[in-house]
Amino acid sequence: MSDTTNEALITALHDNFSDANIPALKNELNYEDLRSHLALYIKTLMRENRAYLYASLYRIDVSENDVRMAMNQNMAEFILAELILKKLNEKLYWRNKYKK
């Protein structure tokens, strides 16, 4: 994934998670590191502020069925992180496609 895409993903994450406490989100992270840091943040939200997590997933437009499926799995935070990044990538793709 390109650096520009990672920068756009990080910006989108900060826009969608207003408290922006996602640890160590820097533009030089590769996709795997970005997903790992996001998963750690999601794990914290799952313990401390589930309502905020669900509201953020709704705002990002992650499918409710996908969220239910992920929450019933081991390592749900990694599955949710992947779903969030996938949805944000889709949004960035369509935004860039119709921007031109």
pLDDT at residue 2 is higher than 60: no
The DSSP symbol for 55 reads H
Q: Where are the domains of the chain?
A: 3-99
Residue 64 has pLDDT above 80, yes or no: yes
Share of the chain above pLDDT 90, in %: 51
pLDDT of residue 57: 94
Measured CA to CA in angstroms, residue 68 lies from 1, 50, 54 at distances of 28, 13, 11
Written as six digits, the tokens of 1 are 């994934």
From CA 43, how far away is CA 93, in angstroms rounded?
27
pLDDT in tens, 12-55: 777 777 665 665 566 567 888 889 989 999 999 999 999 999 99
Query: What's the confidence (pLDDT) of residue 18?
Result: 67
Closest CA to 9 of 98, 90, 99, 70: 90
